[in-house]
Amino acid sequence: MSASILDGVMLAGKVRESVAADVKSWVERGYRAPKLQVILVGENPASSAYVGAKTRACEDVGIESDTLILPDTISEIELTEVIGDFNRDEATDGILVQLPIPAHITPLSVIEAIDYRKDVDGFHPMNVGRMSVGQPCFRPCTPAGIIEMLRHYSIPTKGKHAVVVGASNIVGSPAAILLSRENTTGKATTTICHKFTKDLTKHTISADILIVAVGQPGLVTGQMVKEGVVVIDVGITRVADHTTERGYRLTGDCDFDSVSEKASWITPVPGGVGPMTVAMLMKNTLLAAKKSIYPR
């Protein structure tokens, strides 16, 4: 078997087109354009690139955005005070603190400082909790993008075995929650693997749907998956490559050549989950502006 490609660029384009049309009609009805406030702490080149992609997407769909760049010496208290100002600002609909943040600041403290009604990343415990019990919430953008992708390509999940490799709060764990909910999305039987999992292959080989979000290029090879598996490779790692102009290329967690020989569907890296993440952020920001999830 040679896998078909799950085209994140094409699908993200469709999602963004639909958000752009909704923003246009929202503004035509007399409301101000949605506004996303991005906070970037320090100068991590990958983070700056992600923020650039997000703010360009905002511009593309008619969402206003502003990026506040703070020094990496800022204290946790100062950062939460800045967030508090945006929480109180009526003209700010969504707030996003680009992760990772410097090690002296606890990420969850920062996330909890964001008003959950403006938490368009969907990382606040209020949104995570509501997602876990199937209540309306801001769903985290990467897992929501994965679900959207499976839905668009009519890939059945009900009763399938979904294996998620990686258990972070922002990708692996929420992806597993969404896939396993029996009353809403997913309806899959779900296994979560992480760095303490013994014999990873024992789990990956039985996956009908395999989601890999670790950040280790080549972790999953063709020998670790079964024929016909659907593979969602979330990993994005910069690997030095002097043949490219930038001096690096982006690589996923799967050995694409050997895995795609056995898979029925696979996401490329780049061009798979990454663009979907940005598109779902646009969707969440519009929902925040319309107060669709938390009416006030």
- Residue 62 φ/ψ region, left for φ over 0, alpha for ψ in the -120 to 50 degree band, beta for the rest: left
285 binds ligand NAD (CB under 6 A): no
Taking the complex as a whole, the smallest distance from the CB of residue 141 to ligand NAD amounts, in Å, to 7
Separation of alpha carbons 242 and 248, rounded Å: 7
Separation of alpha carbons 228 and 91, rounded Å: 48
- Residue 5 φ/ψ region, left for φ over 0, alpha for ψ in the -120 to 50 degree band, beta for the rest: beta
Which listed residue (58, 111, 149, 165) binds ligand NAD by CB under 6 A?
165
For residue 42, give both structure tokens.
Answer: 């320090």
Annotation says 98 is catalytic? yes
Give the chain's length: 296
Of residues 240 through 269, those in contact with ligand NAD by CB under 6 A are none
Active-site hit among 54, 118, 160, 283: 54
For residue 175, give both structure tokens.
Answer: 């992806």
Annotation says 199 is catalytic? no
211 binds ligand NAD (CB under 6 A): no
Taking the complex as a whole, the smallest distance from the CB of residue 208 to ligand NAD amounts, in Å, to 19
Interface with ligand NAD by CB under 6 A: which range of 106-114, 207-215, 223-231, 280-288? 207-215
Interface with ligand NAD by CB under 6 A: which range of 23-31, 69-77, 215-223, 284-292? 215-223
For residue 82, give both structure tokens.
Answer: 């800045």
Which listed residue (181, 194, 249, 290) binds ligand NAD by CB under 6 A?
194
Dihedral of alpha carbons 182, 186, 189, 192, sign: negative
167 binds ligand NAD (CB under 6 A): yes
| Residue 120 buriedness (CB in 10 A; 0-12 / 13-18 / 19+) | buried
Active-site hit among 35, 37, 98, 160: 98
Helix (H, G, I), strand (E, B) or coil at 237: strand
273 and 142 in contact (C-beta within 8 Å)? yes
**Is the CB of 110 or the CB of 234 nearer to ligand NAD?**
234
Binding residues for ligand NAD (CB under 6 A): 142, 165-168, 170-172, 193-195, 197, 200, 213-216, 219, 234-237, 273-274, 277
Active site residues: 54, 98, 121
